[in-house]
Amino acid sequence: MKSSKPLNSAVIGSGIAGLASAIRLASMGVKVTVYEKSPTYGGKLGLWQRDGYRFDTGPSLFTMPDYVIDLLTIDGLNNVSFDYDELDVLCNYFWEDKTRLSAFSDREKLKQEFKEKLGEKPENIDHFLNDSRQKYQITNHVFLEKSLHKLSTYLRWETLKSFLRISKVGVFKKMHVENMKQFTNPKSIQFFDRYATYNGSNPYESPATLNVIPHYEFGIGAYFPKKGMRSIVDALYEKALKLGVQFKFSTEINQLIKSDNVYKVDNEDVNYELVVCNIDIATASQGPLKSLVKVQNNHYSPSSSALIFYWGIKKEFKELDLHNIFFSANYQREFESIFKRHTIDNDPTIYVQISSKFKKNDAPSECENWFVMVNAPYVEGQDWNNLISETKKNILMKLSRSLGENIQELIEVEHILSPQLIWDKTGSYKGALYGSSSNNRMSAFLRHSNFSRHHKGLYFCGGSVHPGGGIPLCLLSAKITTDIINNDFKIC
């Protein structure tokens, strides 16, 4: 039965999971106030513009659009505009020996591409993608859509069925080792190993369970929002306002205080029956939630970070698409550099996203906006000025060789985002993009829960808690969290 007096709630942080949590709570009739230390919403899904170039500064891949649509229509009203296109080519891949491959969304085209470019048997691709789909079917509705920290999850028949099939998920096998068994060409192995980076992990250490990730692209689809990635949070913010959510920007919380089963934010004279924290859990435990939350460091291994260059390029490249990858020659050494030596290899894999391929006004005429990213270690005392300078040189040399152009001479606008700046700007602990990594088989179970075991009314969402990082999982975390709240408070 719905409470006669609306509950009063605070959401700390307006990243995508914070926005989603606010929307879900407001749709239940809960009064919601969102606190955000930055002057705007969106967290990592930011925006930077200069001299006619526009850049989405954060996540650049959009999958599972239904998760967003569900939020925008949660009240039965379709009153927020949000449009997107499905991609025919998911990504273009480049190797130093001039091999080039296009990852088509159409499976038959994809198999033919692998056969022609890499000599890979079509049945190998079929087998892998069918296995990826099976992993999704076993894990998604149990391990990604439900709390792993509630007994009720394990008492469900669906959970038991998934556990009976757990051997098919690959939790006790290494991702890279399994991919070596699947494919004959080392480039094919490298292609599918890369999906470990989608949650900041190392394919040579992480479980083969991560081979579920390709299904999100090849089985469900990849998309591009017509107004850019930032428009995802623009739409969610607009929906939150329509549902009556209040926002307090440029408001950093120093301490969350609990007294008599209610919470206060700093010295404000407002009582909140429940609080949802969208701050990175490790950062929160050392900041505003220090007296309420403890993170066990022996269970916390940060994911990788990123070094990103935003370049305005005064030329158009026909061989490039929305998403492009330039692979390193020694993939294993690259990951050892990141996770063991805490540095960036001198031959890094380079990701180049160019939104102006789809959204023409993101760059001046006959120009392109390049989002150039390499995987990087989390912050661990590095000399970032020197590392950024050396990595930029290596990136420019590699891209110039691959594209037959002097890329340095084409750059007319530049902005840089380092792991340290990611930590400073977004609160992601040590700059880790996905909270903890998935470099061991128990990572999913060791992620922080979506609720506090010790303090009623305190909850958590976002990429640093269950089920993990990336847009789809952050949106799922908001749903898991608010479902628990609904059950705890018997809201509706």
What is the structure's pLDDT at 1?
39
> What is the rounded CA–CA span in Å between residue 258 and residue 374?
42
In DSSP terms, which residues pair with 312 in a beta bridge?
Answer: 369, 413
- What's the pLDDT score for residue 108? 98
More confident of the two residues 112 and 173: 112
Is the pLDDT score of 342 beyond 90?
yes
Tell which residue, 424, 435, 429, 417, has the closest CA to residue 380.
429
Average pLDDT on 386-404 reads 98
Question: CB of 438 within 8 A of CB of 201?
Answer: yes
Q: Give tens-digit pLDDT for 196-232.
A: 999 999 999 999 999 999 999 999 999 999 999 999 9
Calculate what percentage of the chain has a pLDDT beyond 90.
84
Q: State the chain's maximal CA–CA distance in angstroms.
A: 68
Average pLDDT (338-346) is 97
**Residue 398, CB half-sphere, CA atoms under 13 Å: how many?**
24
Contact 215, 135 (CB under 8 A): yes
Mean pLDDT of 70-82: 97
pLDDT of 298 over the 80 cut: no
Give me the residue label for tokens 């008492």.
155
Predicted local distance difference test score (pLDDT) of residue 156: 62
Confirm if 199 and 303 have CB atoms less than 8 A apart. Answer: yes
Per-residue model confidence (pLDDT) at position 436: 81
pLDDT at 267: 85
The residue written with tokens 């550099």 in the block is 337
> CA–CA distance from 383 to each of 208, 395, 428 (Å)?
34, 18, 19
Residue 429 clears pLDDT 50, i.e. is over it: yes
User: Phi, psi (5° rounding) for residue 477?
Assistant: -60, -40
Measure the CA–CA gap between 203 and 59, rounded to whole angstroms: 20
- Which pLDDT score is estimated for 2? 47
Say how far apart CA 143 and CA 148 lie, in whole Å: 7
3-state secondary structure the chain: CCCCCCCEEEEECCCHHHHHHHHHHHHCCCEEEEECCCCCCCCCCCEEEECCEEEECCCCCEECHHHHHHHHCCCCCCCCCCCEEECCEEEEEECCCCCEEEEECCHHHHHHHHHHHHCCCHHHHHHHHHHHHHHHHHHHHHHHCCCCCCHHHHCCHHHHHHHHCHHHHCCCCEHHHHHHHHCCCHHHHHHHHHHHHHHCCCCCCCEHHHHHHHHHHHHHCEEEECCCCHHHHHHHHHHHHHCCCEEECCCCCCCEEEECCEEEECCCCCCECEEEECCCHHHHHCCCCCCCCCCCHHHCCECCEEEEEEEEECCCCCCCCCEEEECCCCHHHHHHHHHCCCCCCCCCCEEEECHHHCCHHHCCCCCEEEEEEEEECCCCCCCHHHHHHHHHHHHHHHHHHHHCCCHHHHEEEEEEECHHHHHHHHCCHHHCCCCECCCCCCHHHHCECCECCCCCCEEECCCCECCCCCHHHHHHHHHHHHHHHHHHHCCC
Q: Average model confidence (pLDDT) for the chain?
A: 93
**Separation of alpha carbons 298 and 308, rounded Å:** 29
Q: Given this model, what pLDDT does residue 141 score?
A: 73
Cβ proximity of 17 and 477 under 8 Å: yes
pLDDT in tens, 131-145: 999 999 887 776 776
With pLDDT > 70 as the criterion, what percentage of the chain qualifies? Answer: 91
> What number of residues does the chain have?
492
At residue 447 the predicted structure's pLDDT band, cuts being 50, 70 and 90, is: confident
* pLDDT category of residue 5 using cuts at 50, 70 and 90: confident
Asked if pLDDT for residue 377 goes beyond 90, the answer is yes
Tokens 């340290």 map to which residue?
A: 420
If one compares 368 and 298, the residue with the highest pLDDT of the two is 368
Query: What is the pLDDT averaged over residues 372-392?
Result: 97
How far apart, in whole angstroms, are the C-alpha atoms of residue 476 and residue 43? Answer: 17
pLDDT at 300: 66
pTM: 0.94
Rg, Å, the chain Cα set = 22
pLDDT at 384 over 50: yes
pLDDT at 74: 98
Instruction: Identify the structural domains of the chain with CATH numbers, from first to last.
Output: 8-45+62-85+227-298+443-489 (3.50.50.60), 110-220 (no CATH)
Pick the more confident residue, 151 or 290: 290
Amino acid at the residue 251: T
444 pLDDT more than 60: no
Contact 212, 132 (CB under 8 A): yes
